[in-house]
Each structure stands twice: as structure tokens, then as C-alpha cells.
Amino acid sequence: MIARRSLLAGMAALPGAAAAVTLPPGWPDRPLRIILPAAGGAGTADTLARILAQEMDKRLPQRTLVDNRPGANGNVGATAAARSAPDGHTILFTWAGTMATNPSLYRDLSFDPRRDFEPVMLLGNVPNILVVNNALPVHSLAELTSYLKAHPGQVSFGSSGNGSSMHLAGELYRQATGTEMVHVPYNGIGQGFTDLYAGRIQVMFNLVTGAQPQIRSGQVRPIAVLSDRRSVVLPDVPTTAELGMPGLEFGSWFCLMLPKGTPAPITQALNGLVNEILAEPESRARFEAQGLDIIGGGPERLTALLDSELRRHAELVRFSGVSLQ
């Protein structure tokens, strides 16, 4: 869980946009490569990574390129980054699912989030939002919980797959409320929305950016953002904290890591550079337009979050009963 006090502390830690970052001698001496463990052309992660690359291009003497490496819920890209030379020219742009969920979801993981990487920084968090089919007779979080308790096992919720942020958000809700729903995993969330419109499933947990068009068009009904602060892109939707469930917070946090053994001056320079980007009003607005609640700060914030999230996600994976090869 990323508490509001951590978010505010992260913002306070951001250096001013005018602060100059001193680059280590000789770095970078060739283009930087951001490995993104997802397909290109769509999705929140790809958009955020490309915004970051563009902003880094403005501040560095070398280009920054995004290298999409999709596969196995992010494992392919993370493994490629872990095996790269620790010279500061390969950066892993990754998120909660790959770093915190996969170690419990997969029996044999080809990388270790703590052993194989140097933490750089926690960029921010994109929260999930709970939406329902318009025909479902609920208009609030309390009404949904009461309805599910009165109809155990009769309501289904969709996700983009087992172990996804959408799936675990639903499991967290079930765990917190003691309710029963049937999980329906989809290979593509587009089909999930089609079934949600048609009433074949009734509930969905999705990142705010993924559900924003459907909410604004009136195709689904928003219930609550799983966060302790309202979303910039959906400011009219209340949070679970406001609605009396402060522990019901779940989203996808995004971070930067370097291969283990990368020299500390490079890690520090990259951290300072990205903090500078996040503090600059125009670049900050670009990230926030994608639903990112900006955090920033030093590597220690990411280390602490990763430790707590590995435990939290392991508990949710056990609760869900899902395991992948």
C-alpha cells in the first residue's frame, strides 16, 4: 500500500526544476536503452516510458530509446535487463506486477527483484478504479458490498488475467469485505469490457486510465478509486478511503531499476535527473495526464516499498489460489 503521507513526502523530496544534475564523467557515452517489459503502441506503461524517454532526451547528451520486451507478465523484459551490463546504459522501466506479484505467482522466476537490480526510484502510482455494469442495482461501495453478501457467488468480475493488477484488486476487495465473486480472466481486456456492457460480468477493477473513456461515455458506472487520494483524470469519483475503507488501496506503481553492480554515481545521477523531470511543471503534467500520482524521491523509498509489497502481493496470490509455471 502506498499511503498518502508517502506520496506527499515523495513530492516534498523532489528537487526544484532548476537544480542541475551533475553527470558522472563519461556517462552516458552512447544511447541509453529503457527496457519495457510490455508491448509497444498501447497501454499505460508504454505511454509513461515514452514520456520519460522524451524528457530525458531534452537533458542528456545521448538519445534514450525504449526497447519493448513483452512476455510472461513482464518476466522476459526483466530478465533481459538483469542480464545486461551494469554500466548505466540499460534501464528497466517496470511496475508492481513484475516486481511484486510475479515472485509469488511463478514457481521458477529467472530474476530476483532485490538480488539482481539496483533500485533507482519510484516514479508514481496509477490506482485501480471499481466500475460496475449499469444494470447492477448499486451506486456506492456500501451498496455493492451489501449486494454481494446477499448474492454470494452470483456476481462475476473480469480482469486482464490471473495475477494482474485488476485481478488482485478484486481479491483484495473480496478479502477486505468477506464477499464472494467469480473471477473471469481475459486475454484482452477489450473483450472484458464488451462482456461488462452486456452484463455477462457485472464488476471490473481497472487502472483509472483504462476505464476513463468508458466512464465518461456512460457505458459503465464508477463506484470508487482504490486509493487515498482522488485521481487527477477522474476527480469526481470518490476514493475508498473517503468511503470508509482506507485499507482498500490497490494500483500499479511504476519504478526504475538498473542491473546490479551499476556504479553508485550513475544510479545517483539518474535518480536526480528523473526527480528533476518530475518536478518540472510541464513534464509533470504529462505524467499526471496518464493517471500517474507522482512520488519520486530516493532509491530507499523504492526499496522499502518493494519489501512491503512483496509480502502484500504474496498474501493476495495465496488468497486467490492462482499459480503459474
The answer to whether 128 and 114 have CB atoms below 8 angstroms apart is no
pLDDT of residue 107: 87
**If you write DSSP's letter for every residue of 159-216 in order, what string do you get?**
ESSTTSHHHHHHHHHHHHHT---EEEE-SSHHHHHHHHHHTSS-EEEEEHHHHHHHHH
Cα–Cα distance, 231 to 236 (Å, whole number): 8
Confirm whether 4-126+252-320 and 127-225 share one CATH topology: yes
User: Which fold does the domain 4-126+252-320 belong to in CATH?
Assistant: D-Maltodextrin-Binding Protein; domain 2 (3.40.190)
Cα–Cα distance, 165 to 162 (Å, whole number): 9
User: Which fold does the domain 127-225 belong to in CATH?
Assistant: D-Maltodextrin-Binding Protein; domain 2 (3.40.190)
With bands split at pLDDT 50, 70 and 90, how would you rate the model's confidence at 4? very low
Identity of the residue numbered 74: G
pLDDT of residue 147: 98
Global confidence as pTM: 0.91
With bands split at pLDDT 50, 70 and 90, how would you rate the model's confidence at 75? very high
Q: What average pLDDT is seen over the chain?
A: 93
With bands split at pLDDT 50, 70 and 90, how would you rate the model's confidence at 1? low
Cα–Cα distance, 294 to 52 (Å, whole number): 13
- The size of the chain, in residues, is 325
- The terminus-to-terminus CA distance of the chain in angstroms comes to 27
pLDDT of residue 325: 60
Cα–Cα distance, 140 to 146 (Å, whole number): 10
- In this structure, what C-alpha cell is assigned to residue 36? 519495457
With bands split at pLDDT 50, 70 and 90, how would you rate the model's confidence at 90? very high
With bands split at pLDDT 50, 70 and 90, how would you rate the model's confidence at 162? very high
Residue in the block written with cell 509469488: 104
pLDDT of residue 43: 86
Residue in the block written with cell 508514481: 124
Domain spans in the chain, listed from the N-terminal domain onward: 4-126+252-320, 127-225
Q: What is the arithmetic mean of pLDDT over 147-172?
A: 96
**Does residue 12 carry a pLDDT above 80?**
no
With bands split at pLDDT 50, 70 and 90, how would you rate the model's confidence at 8? very low
- In this structure, what C-alpha cell is assigned to residue 17? 526544476
